[in-house]
Structure 1
Amino acid sequence: MRKLPMVLLATAALPMAVNAANTEFSFGGFIKMDAMLSTYSDGDIAPANIGRDFYVPSTIPVGGQDEGADLDYSAKSTRLNMKTVTTLEDGETVTGFIEMDFLSSPGGTEVVSNSYNPRLRHAFFKYDGLTAGQTWTTFMNTGALPETVDFLGPSESSVFVRQTQFRYTMGDFDLAIENPETTVDGAVSDDGMLPDFVARYNIKSGNSNFAVAALVRQLSYEDAVNNVDSTTAMGFGINVSGKIMIGGDDLKLSLTSGTGVGRYVGLGAVTDANLVNGDLKASKTTAAFIAYRHHWTSKLRSTAMYSMLTADYDSAAPTTSTTDISSVRVNLMYNPVEPITYGVEYSMATREIDNGANGDMSRLQVSAKYSF
């Protein structure tokens, strides 16, 4: 991040400078260009689909008759953020953070302008152990995510959710109440009356780190239009993840297992529950990845990884539900100078649904990124 003196801020906006005399502002982010050549065994992905921007497992076509192929260029993952640190009279600090990018948002077409609306990623502040606002779910360990050219990489097995929450940190313990959302038969039900409860214990040993997180949530569904009474079920999940240093290399891994945790893992590839005879039947999910990064030189490195997800549903659930996804990928990352990273990555993925239909995807992706 780049820090701006208060004199410059005062020149641009005097009232803000007066009200924030004890606040330090930092700005950061990156500019990233991606080019992807994708092939599909059983169909194609529509031009506006988010699966054309990065790997979203549930978008892999299955059961089609024809092969598909796409070539995509994009700078939508470009990111901007601002951090503030306000020093109080007692010496304590309040930290604020806001970040946006341009993925998963509407805007101009690729025909002329390629204009895309910004979207909110993070908006939170921290004070005296409390974090309030929108940021990564406490169920997620960002330190275990491997380095990839793709936006996320092992998407099917990664816990990956940003949402509004209250989190309290006590040393190595994190306790949080977070926004509840339930996916039922693939649709979102916004009827939850209890927050999702998360507890996480963080373990550090030298440059290695681990985290053990537990999730308890109430699944809820009501459909007044179709005369479906309110019904609930309980969801439980656990995630164990971390990074192990092996000399100058690192091994990253994650294991998630639970009932009714579908939206927390795999970018929503698995629905939280199915509605069966008026009752919610929670799905069961197990997902894991392992990734090894090797440094060839001080400027050149590679990561190889394997990722998988399996899901089980009630026997009366729709037969189009995703049951198995797996992927492998390998990349090469190069830093000619510190702020610039060039990357190339090849990945293969397979998706299968409950009726046995399946499909494959192969993708070659290159990127150029300037961080500031």
Structure 2
Amino acid sequence: MRKTPILLMAAALPMAVNAANTEFSYGGYVKLDAMVSEYSEGEIAAGSAGRDFYVPSTIPTSPDGVNGDSVTNFDMHAKTSRFNFKTVTDLENGHKISTFVELDFMLAPGGNEVVSNSYNPRLRHAFIKTGNWTFGQTWSTFMNVGALPETADFLGVSDGTVFNRQPQIRYTMGDFQFSLENPETTTPGVNDDSTIPDVVARYNLKSGKHAFTIAAIGRQLATYTADDASTPADEEVDESTLGFGISISGKIQLGQDDLKFAVNKGAIGRYVGLSAARDAVLSDGDLEATDVTAAFIGYRHFWNDKVRSTIAYSMLDADYDVDNVGDTESSSSVRVNLMYSPVKKLTYGVELSQATHKLDTDAEGDMTRVHFTTKYAF
């Protein structure tokens, strides 16, 4: 019986030696989500991300004047559960270097609901911080995580918020941040061909308990597809254009309550609405950036120190340079919830949401969802 502690100590000794100047920590949460969803124009396909959380572009639509079949689904999963691992190391020159890696199980293949509901881990964050520099994958500098309202849904205000994680190099100088980030262009029928990174500049402002952020982005939108001689209608496409966008977001503290908001505008297609709108379309052989407007507002009221509610509205509108692209033209959603935390890190919640999705062909569809959740953070 005495051998077990000795063996464990012996096994841990190399790590203790190697980690003499390194502090290790871990965290995350376990979360269960259960949803009853009614779709006005047919159901979302099984396995789609829209069955797990609110993804505006996945709501089924029917052409104007055509009534689809209303369908109701019940879904339950624990995919948003996550864990992370962090290190902080004291270097010989007196500086510190930290690393952070986080995984969850969303959007991952390798499982189904037939027997085991097993799903592969998915990389969320993986970055290094040293001094003023950040290298690796994390939230886009264009995104203000602190402005997101509290929702039972994984994201909630999906229509109106910037939501993006990607590889980047970021420099922070006080309240200013500058970054070079991984480029990508979403266009119909052609491939991304960007040759320069997305460039983001951001300024964070605090005033008492209030916090605001303004961010600007510059992007090269580029596409390429080779000429296919076997198909006469196919011609080589090699086009690019520049796009710019701006985001203003923040949190206003109202006693114990808070008001969170964001307004986003410009050539920001894939950055908002979970890439509901195309970044650009081909018009007379030229690549034209899509002008997207997206916004949300959410108000949270504390009924007491354990019970609170959020009511939130979000919207997205895309203006394409050509007609009948067959992509998302607009979406909007409204939601209200009740969240109860008997202890600090345990939360039970229920949320009612209603959303509308419309294509630029005038096809439209609605979704109504009741969402139950239980979450424990550690």
TM-score higher than 0.5: yes
Deviations 1:315-354 (A, max 9, x none): 3x44412111111000011011122100100000001111
Query: Which of 1 and 2 has greater Rg?
Result: 2
Find the aligned partners of 2:100 and 2:54 in 1 and give their Cα distance: 27
Find the aligned partners of 1:11 and 1:233 in 2 and give their Cα distance: 60
Which one is further off, 270-279 or 362-371? 270-279
**Structure 1 residues 136 and 306: alpha-carbon distance in aligned structure 2, compared to 1, 3 A threshold:** same
- Where does residue 126 of structure 2 map in the other structure? 123
What amino acid sits opposite 1:280 in the alignment? L
Is residue 218 of structure 1 aligned with residue 216 of structure 2?
A: no
- Where does residue 258 of structure 2 map in the other structure? 250
Within 5 Å, give how 1:259-298 maps onto structure 2: 259=267, 261-298=268-305
What amino acid sits opposite 1:182 in the alignment? T
Find the aligned partners of 1:25 and 1:322 in 2 and give their Cα distance: 45
TM-score by length of 1: 0.94
Within 5 Å, give how 1:146-161 maps onto structure 2: 146-161=149-164
- Where does residue 364 of structure 2 map in the other structure? 358
What amino acid sits opposite 2:255 in the alignment? G
Gaps of 5+ in 1: 1-6
- Cα-Cα RMSD: 1.7
- Where does residue 111 of structure 1 map in the other structure? 114
What amino acid sits opposite 2:244 in the alignment? F
Secondary structure of 2:146's aligned partner: helix
Within 5 Å, give how 1:64-79 maps onto structure 2: 65-79=68-82
**Structure 1 residues 366 and 22: alpha-carbon distance in aligned structure 2, compared to 1, 3 A threshold:** same
Deviations 1:345-365 (A, max 9, x none): 000000111111111000000
- Where does residue 3 of structure 1 map in the other structure? none
- Where does residue 51 of structure 2 map in the other structure? 52
Deviation at 1:277, TM superposition (A): 3.2
Contact 1:80–1:101 at 8 Å: present in 2 too? Answer: yes
Find the aligned partners of 1:350 and 1:229 in 2 and give their Cα distance: 34
Divergent runs of 4+, >6 A: 7-10
- Where does residue 325 of structure 1 map in the other structure? 331
Is residue 36 of structure 1 aligned with residue 35 of structure 2?
A: yes
Which one is further off, 319-328 or 168-177? 319-328
Find the aligned partners of 2:264 and 2:76 in 1 and give their Cα distance: 33
What amino acid sits opposite 2:240 in the alignment? T
Deviation at 1:99, TM superposition (A): 0.1
- Where does residue 165 of structure 2 map in the other structure? 162
Gaps of 5+ in 2: 1-5, 229-234
What amino acid sits opposite 2:26 in the alignment? F
- Where does residue 3 of structure 2 map in the other structure? none
Find the aligned partners of 2:94 and 2:133 in 1 and give their Cα distance: 17
Contact 2:227–2:237 at 8 Å: present in 1 too? Answer: no
Deviation at 1:10, TM superposition (A): 6.8
Contact 2:26–2:85 at 8 Å: present in 1 too? Answer: yes
- Where does residue 136 of structure 1 map in the other structure? 139
Deviations 1:175-213 (A, max 9, x none): 00000000002x673311100000000001122110000
Secondary structure of 1:155's aligned partner: coil
TM-score by length of 2: 0.93
Find the aligned partners of 1:188 and 1:338 in 2 and give their Cα distance: 49
Which one is further off, 225-234 or 279-288? 225-234
What amino acid sits opposite 2:115 in the alignment? V
Contact 2:190–2:224 at 8 Å: present in 1 too? Answer: no
Within 5 Å, give how 1:187-202 maps onto structure 2: 189-202=191-204
Of all paired residues, the percent bearing the same amino acid is 58
Find the aligned partners of 1:350 and 1:188 in 2 and give their Cα distance: 28
**Structure 1 residues 8 and 295: alpha-carbon distance in aligned structure 2, compared to 1, 3 A threshold:** farther
Deviations 1:36-73 (A, max 9, x none): 00001111101110100100000010006211111000
Deviation at 1:14, TM superposition (A): 3.9
Find the aligned partners of 2:138 and 2:297 in 1 and give their Cα distance: 25
Q: Of residues 317, 320, 339 in structure 2, which corresponds to 1:310?
A: 317
Find the aligned partners of 2:48 and 2:11 in 1 and give their Cα distance: 40
Find the aligned partners of 2:236 and 2:302 in 1 and give their Cα distance: 56
